[in-house]
Amino acid sequence: MKRILLTGNGAAAWGARLASVDYVPAFPITPQTEIIESLAGWIDNGEMEGRLVTLESEHSMITAAGAAAATGVRVFSATSSQGLLYGMEMLYTVAGWRAPFVLVNVSRGLSAPITLEPDHNDILAARDSGFLQLHCATCQEVLDTVLLAYRLAEDEQVRLPVLVNMDGFYLSFTREPVEIPERERVERFLPAFEPGSIRFRASAPESQAVAVLGGGPYFYFRYQTHLAARNALKVYERVAEEFEALFGRRHAVVEAYCCDDAEYLFVMMGSFATKAKAAVDWLRSNGWLIGLLRPRLLRLFPEAVFRCELAGRRGVAVIDQNLSIGAGGVLHTEVTSALYGQPEAPPVLASFIGGLGGRDIAPEEFYEMAEVIRKAAETGETPPPRLLYTETELRETRKLQAIAQVERRQLGEG
């Protein structure tokens, strides 16, 4: 085992390399491109087998990935943001094909306005596609999760494609020490893909999913896919245990940090949760009983774990780095829906929207959120959703708007 400094992108590429993927359809997009370029380099210098082929868009890339996976080979690809959305039609389609492969998404906010910086609206747009979703917080977790994702995708009870998510820039371009597992051990954990019925055989050609179905049969296959996704939780738990036994790192369905005695909890996903951890440490050193829950799986959403972990807490702050337009935070919706009717559900489940378009979430904002839920717990009333946005930011944006208005007027009068 060796330990080296790797970016999140480098870790994702290492994951694919150790998984001995056969085929990588590729199309560049910021901030993901380093992943496919790393793989291309290794394939070129013979450090890695497999074939990388550039396509003309993410739409064709995801199509090619699904088609290759449907022949029974191990497939990897990576994208980000607009690319994931451009391929959205195919996300639903290849999940319906029950073609298992791993697609890494490097999260980046969506247009319009155009941004290069991260939030989770891209990956959450794929929430209902049939892809399972695993969210990472560290570079090590990215590498490990790619390996876990193949076990999950290829499991006979699942057979679905999996998205592995990391935050663009904050994780994709940040170097952290990462342990590169030994190949022999990886092969024990993740042997060659045994595709079973998912393969092309020259001796027995069979047509796959070409019929146009309606009503009963259509319903049947969609529901079957749903049931396969429902299996993902227990399969994930099993493979994560095996992973821990082999590599000594535990990647639970939900990471619970300082939760045992916590009266208050933060709930959030992705790399920004590491900032929440730091806030928990500081708050605890100031006498707070507070912790953090970070779901790794968003699909399948670990409802039971949330019911259990949140039972009896005084107040919870769910921090969403996404905005379901007109509705609010997606994670908050998932959590509230899991808790409905639970007798011990926390009385306060506050929603905070932050970090859109790469906007940082400062330590003071975590302290403020903690204060908000503590005050709310005194009255037992959940406050309305709140934006993590400062007066200074508002003033700056207004200033830009004013300049734009003046310029527009000048143009009109020009």
Partner 1 sequence: MTATQSPLKPKAYKSSVKPVWCPGCGHFGVLSAVTKALAHLALAREEVALVSGIGCSSRLPAYTELYGFHGVHGRALAVASGLKAARPDLTVLVAGGDGDGFSIGGNHFLHACRRNMDIAYIVMDNEVYGMTKGQASPTTAPDWTHSKLTPHGTGIPSFNPAAIALASGATFIARGFSGDPGGLTRLLVEAIQHPGFAFLQVLSPCTTFRPEQKEWKKMVHPFDEDATGNPVEAAQRIVADDGMSTGLLYRTRIPVWQPANRVSMEVSELEGGFQV
Positions that interact with partner 1 (CB under 8 A) = 26, 28-30, 33, 36-37, 40-41, 44, 52, 54, 56-58, 82, 86, 111, 114, 411-412, 414
User: Residues with Cβ < 8 Å from 98, sequence gap 6 or more?
Assistant: 159, 160, 198, 225, 228
Decide if 152 contacts 239 (C-beta within 8 A). yes
Residue 114: CB minimum distance to partner 1, A: 7
Residue 33: CB minimum distance to partner 1, A: 5
Nearest to 87 by CA among 116, 56, 118: 56
Residue 110: CB minimum distance to partner 1, A: 10
34: burial class by Cβ within 10 Å (0-12, 13-18, 19+)? buried
Residue 309: CB minimum distance to partner 1, A: 40
- Tokens read off for 34: 């380093």
Give the three-class secondary structure for 318.
strand
Task: Outline where DSSP puts E strands in 100-171.
Answer: 102-107, 132-135, 162-167
Q: CB nearer to partner 1: give 82 or 93.
A: 82
Q: How far are the Cα atoms of 22, 25, 34 from residue 45, in angstroms, in the given order?
A: 16, 18, 16
How far apart, in whole angstroms, are the C-alpha atoms of residue 414 and residue 409? 8
How far apart, in whole angstroms, are the C-alpha atoms of residue 131 and residue 9? 21
Helices marked H in 45-134 — which ranges? 58-69, 81-86, 88-96, 121-125
Residue 75: CB minimum distance to partner 1, A: 17
Residue 51: CB minimum distance to partner 1, A: 12
Q: CB nearer to partner 1: give 86 or 306.
A: 86
Q: CB nearer to partner 1: give 44 or 364.
A: 44
- CA angle, 52 then 166 then 330, to 5°: 125
Q: CB-hemisphere CA count at 13 Å for 109?
A: 21
Q: CB nearer to partner 1: give 111 or 405.
A: 111
Residue 175: CB minimum distance to partner 1, A: 18
Helices marked H in 155-289 — which ranges? 183-189, 215-230, 232-247, 273-285
Q: CB nearer to partner 1: give 44 or 396.
A: 44
Residue 413: CB minimum distance to partner 1, A: 10
Q: Give yes or no for a cis peptide into 113 (omega within 30° of 0).
A: yes
Q: CB nearer to partner 1: give 57 or 397.
A: 57
Q: CB nearer to partner 1: give 51 or 183.
A: 51
Decide if 152 contacts 159 (C-beta within 8 A). no
Q: How far are the Cα atoms of 57, 107, 242, 354 from residue 121, in angstroms, in the given order?
A: 20, 8, 32, 12
Q: CB nearer to partner 1: give 211 or 411.
A: 411
205: burial class by Cβ within 10 Å (0-12, 13-18, 19+)? exposed
Residue 375: CB minimum distance to partner 1, A: 43
Residue 406: CB minimum distance to partner 1, A: 12
Q: CB nearer to partner 1: give 211 or 325.
A: 325
Q: CB nearer to partner 1: give 285 or 410.
A: 410
